[in-house]
A = this chain, B = another copy of it.
Amino acid sequence: MEEEKAPLLLTIAVLGGTGKEGKGLAYRWAKAGYKVLIGSRSSEKAVHAASEIMELLEGSSSVVGTSNLEAAEQANIVVLSVPYAAHRDTLESVKDAVKGKLLIDVTVPLVPPKVTKVQMPLDGSAAQEAKAILGDDAQIASAFQNTSHELLLTDGEVECDVLVTGSSKEARTETIKLVEAAGLTGWDAGPIENSVVVEGLTSVLIHINKQYGSTHAGIKITGVSSDE
């Protein structure tokens, strides 16, 4: 089945795009017609992940693997999907490259082994830490922390809404477009300070999975239509 591609001119860099979550997002955006750059500390691994995605999409899209820095430099929108342990270093290494661009932070600051307990960084959340590193004039949004990566790499419906927080209304609106392009429902969840709720919700959902024997606990917003 041939899907219609929207004429999108934007390039999205997924830093840490060799990880499961990043790869799933890259797959969905490439499928929606975006040009996607997979970034990694190892360009070789990035090239490999890009070709994996191209194979899944049967070559009809544009996915290129490169270094995190080169991906950030060449993209219009930069998505940060690295393990929390690499969060600060990665941000500092691409700080100049993301100036004036939207940075979407996908990082969940889990502290192993107690991943079912909310344990936020000193700045309040990973997203606020990103803001502290990139500076107050950076355009930062935070999203996708609660989405199961296994579902992203399939074409099935993901039964989990995406709460989008951000440093400005514009950052949130732009991010919600990318949420929808990935086939999910996004909600404007308020200022970047609210990211603590969304990042922390991941620990709550992991706890629920353990307690109730599930693997893909998620959330849906009720009582409101997102089309209004």
Question: In the bound complex, what is the Cα–Cα distance between A213 and B193 (angstroms)?
Answer: 22
Name A217's contact: one of B200, B207, B211, B223 (CB within 8 Å): B223
Nearest opposing residue in chain B for A216, CB measure: B223
Query: Is A217 in contact with B221, judged by CB distance below 8 angstroms?
Result: yes
Query: Is A189 in contact with B160, judged by CB distance below 8 angstroms?
Result: no
Query: Is B190 in contact with A203, judged by CB distance below 8 angstroms?
Result: yes
Known: A194-B118, A224-B209. A204 touches B219 (CB 8 A): no
> Does A196 count as interface, using CB distance less than 8 angstroms?
yes
**Given the complex, which residues of B lie within 8 Å of A214, measured CB to CB?**
223-225, 228
Question: In the bound complex, what is the Cα–Cα distance between A193 and B225 (angstroms)?
Answer: 31
**Given the complex, which residues of B lie within 8 Å of A218, measured CB to CB?**
221-223
Q: Would you give the shortest CB distance from A199 to chain B, in whole angstroms?
A: 9
> Does A76 count as interface, using CB distance less than 8 angstroms?
no
Known: A212-B228, A225-B212, A226-B212. A194 touches B217 (CB 8 A): no
**Given the complex, which residues of B lie within 8 Å of A62, measured CB to CB?**
none
- With contacts A118-B196, A187-B212, A198-B204 known, what are 9 further pairs, Cβ within 8 A? A119-B193, A163-B204, A190-B203, A194-B207, A197-B197, A197-B200, A200-B200, A214-B225, A217-B222
Residues in chain A within 8 A of chain B (CB atoms):
116-120, 148, 159-160, 163, 187-191, 193-194, 196-198, 200-201, 203-204, 207-209, 211-226, 228
